[in-house]
């Protein structure tokens, strides 16, 4: 479904948000340990997220990553997915036949379109906050 990079990005974002929610800033090491991801790979991914202003990074002693509380409500999964994997999951043909569903549709175009729309709707309507609450209440896990 998503690339591994994107999965790490989502899990990392949720973890950072969950900690920020409790006013805790986290380092790359913390993140990698808590979402079980390779540390330097995670660092690379976080740089992308920082550039796209999905996470906020602070250098130096006491630094790390955080997501300002106001943003935890605002950031949704679609933003993260697009930042990492681009919008191909929303736009490209499920059979790689074309640029999808125009004059030259593949045989699955209608069926795919509907599933992709559901996926898009889901990603768009799911903000970090609700996921964070689940994780912090111990209902769901990142590892």
Partner DNA sequence: AAAGAAATATGATTTAAATCATATGAAATA
Partner DNA sequence: TATTTCATATGATTTAAATCATATTTCTTT
- List of residues contacting DNA (CB under 7 A): 3-5, 8, 26-29, 37-41, 43-44, 46-47, 50, 57-65
Binding mask 105-134 for ligand FES (x = CB under 6 A): xx-xx--x----------------------
Q: What is the dihedral of CA 64, 70, 71, 73, to 10 degrees?
A: 130
State the residue for tokens 């125009």: 102
Buried b (16+ CB within 10 A) or exposed e, 55-84: bbeeeeeeebbbbeeebbeebbbbbbbbbb
Binding residues for ligand FES, rule CB under 6 A, total 12
Stretch near ligand FES under the rule CB under 6 A, chosen from 2-10, 65-73, 77-85, 98-106: 98-106
Stretch near ligand FES under the rule CB under 6 A, chosen from 16-24, 37-45, 71-79, 100-108: 100-108
Query: Which two tokens mark 72?
Result: 């935890």
């Amino acid at each position: 479904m998503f690339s591994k990079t994107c999965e790490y990005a989502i899990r990392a974002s949720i973890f950072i948000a969950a900690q920020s929610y409790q006013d805790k800033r986290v380092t790359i090491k913390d993140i990698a340990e808590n979402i079980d991801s390779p540390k330097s790979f995670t660092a690379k991914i976080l740089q992308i997220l920082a550039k796209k202003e999905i996470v906020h990074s602070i250098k130096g002693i006491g630094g790390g990553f955080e997501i300002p509380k106001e943003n935890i409500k605002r950031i949704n999964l679609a933003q993260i997915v697009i930042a990492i994997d681009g919008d191909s999951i929303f736009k490209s043909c499920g059979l790689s036949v074309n640029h999808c569903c125009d004059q030259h549709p593949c045989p699955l175009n209608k069926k795919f379109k509907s599933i992709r729309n559901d996926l898009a709707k889901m990603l768009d309507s799911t903000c970090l906050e609700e996921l964070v609450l689940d994780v912090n209440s111990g209902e769901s896990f990142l590892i």
